[in-house]
Amino acid sequence: MRLTLSLSDNPAATAVERAIMEFRSARPVVIDGAQGSALAVGVENLDEAMSVEIGAMAGGHAHLVLPAARLRRLGLERDTPGRVALPVVDRSRVELLALRTDGRIDAPVRPADPRDEEALELARLSLMLPAVIVVPLAPGVEIDPSLLRVSGEAVRGYRRANALDLKIVSRAPVPLEGAPTSEFVVFRGGEGLRDQVAIIVGKPDLSKPVTVRLHSACLTGDLFGSLKCDCGDQLRETVRFMAHNEGGVLLYLDQEGRGNGIANKIRAYKLQSQGYDTYDADEVLGFEADQRRFDFAAVMLKELGVGKVRLMTNNPEKIAALSQAGLDVISDHRVLGRPTAENVSYLAAKRDRAGHYIDLEGMLACSNKD
């Protein structure tokens, strides 16, 4: 009798996860769709040798796909992605169009087709720069059989299909400074291949409204005390508050750099050092104002038995997301860090451009008194 071992109960999602790893490893991926197949490769991994190889394979039919945010930086008012022809795959030109601050559009921009948009989504899922070289493949063309193939439909639907697919994989008590009765609960899922953590501080009564914070991971601020943001202050102040006020739940979410990933966050920091604000820097890189989703955070809270929340946040998007996900947001409360010479412009940009509830003048007044 022959037995078949099933490697996945969701082959489409598994293929996307493998494609993410291929993309992050600088290997091209073939995207199959209704309009045919196309080879996709991220521009941040493009070197001279790969440029020559792709150019030879494309035969003049490659194109560069750019998101709307980057096109706006190149001088076009766009709200949808577009593509620029690459008759020759010239690495320096690709870099100019996809990344450099002095880039300007130098050729007609055509609307992106579904394969182009799926390639961009694969780059975003991989936490890579959202700029991709796409080579349409003619029917019957021979390609390296080792190249991974993935359905464009699976890529397009991956984030939505997996957002709410979470499960607890481990939990244990972890005493914290100032909050000795704390438990870490690790979830897998929600944002693809990453783990998410819930920290239960104290012994909150789940039958009553529970103090909750959704905290996006910030390596530079949380761990190293960066002066460019207020994240570390917010994290530690939240834990202290919960420990002294009937406990609470802090969700530590793997969403570095507003969902863009640590590499892109550091690229944005370099641009900020050149005078761009936090949102303009992200737009130069091709990102819209915020890539994060919070629907899976609501699933984590429900899994822990939380139904009513007192939300500690300055971000109106988090309040709306939990309410839309069916949680009862009883109240929302501000979490303010210390203003510094290095983060004042960052705090002002969040207030003025993203509508965060930040009383910067009040913070500065209190800081000057201290």
Other Cβ atoms within 10 Å of 3 Cβ, number = 4
Query: Given this model, what pLDDT does residue 140 score?
Result: 75
If you average pLDDT over each of 21-35, 105-119, 130-144, 183-197, which comes out highest? Answer: 105-119
* Confidence grade of residue 192 (pLDDT, cut at 50, 70, 90): low
- In the numeric block, which tokens belong to residue 342? 């290095």
Query: pLDDT by residue (tens digit) across 95-134?
Result: 999 999 999 999 999 999 999 999 999 999 999 999 999 9
Average pLDDT, the chain: 92
Query: Given this model, what pLDDT does residue 1 score?
Result: 52
- In the numeric block, which tokens belong to residue 121? 């989504």
Which residues participate in catalysis according to the annotation?
A: 290, 292
Alpha carbon 44 to its chain's center: 17
Among the ranges given (142-146, 259-263, 364-368), the one the predictor scored with the smallest mean pLDDT: 364-368
Query: pLDDT by residue (tens digit) across 3-20?
Result: 555 556 778 888 999 999
Alpha carbon 174 to its chain's center: 28
Q: What is the mean pLDDT of residues 193-199?
A: 89
Query: Given this model, what pLDDT does residue 164 score?
Result: 76
Query: Given this model, what pLDDT does residue 315 score?
Result: 96
Is the torsion defined by CA of 267, 273, 274, 275 positive or negative?
positive
Query: Given this model, what pLDDT does residue 165 score?
Result: 82
If you average pLDDT over each of 40-54, 159-173, 233-247, which comes out highest? Answer: 233-247
Query: Given this model, what pLDDT does residue 4 score?
Result: 53
**In DSSP terms, which residues pair with 33 in a beta bridge?**
36
Query: Given this model, what pLDDT does residue 34 score?
Result: 85
Q: Where are the beta strands (DSSP E) in the chain?
A: 29-33, 36-42, 62-66, 82-86, 109-111, 132-137, 148-151, 166-173, 182-189, 195-201, 210-216, 248-253, 308-312, 328-333
Query: Given this model, what pLDDT does residue 159 score?
Result: 87
240 pLDDT higher than 70: yes
**What CA–CA distance (Å, rounded) separates 15 from 308?**
37
**What CA–CA distance (Å, rounded) separates 98 from 128?**
12
Q: What is the mean pLDDT of residues 223-230?
A: 94
* Confidence grade of residue 193 (pLDDT, cut at 50, 70, 90): low
Q: What is the CA radius of gyration of the chain?
A: 23
Query: Given this model, what pLDDT does residue 142 score?
Result: 79
Query: Given this model, what pLDDT does residue 3 score?
Result: 52
Query: Given this model, what pLDDT does residue 210 score?
Result: 98
Closest CA to 357 of 327, 312, 323, 326: 312
Query: Given this model, what pLDDT does residue 224 score?
Result: 96
Query: pLDDT by residue (tens digit) across 315-353?
Result: 999 999 999 999 999 999 999 888 999 999 999 999 999
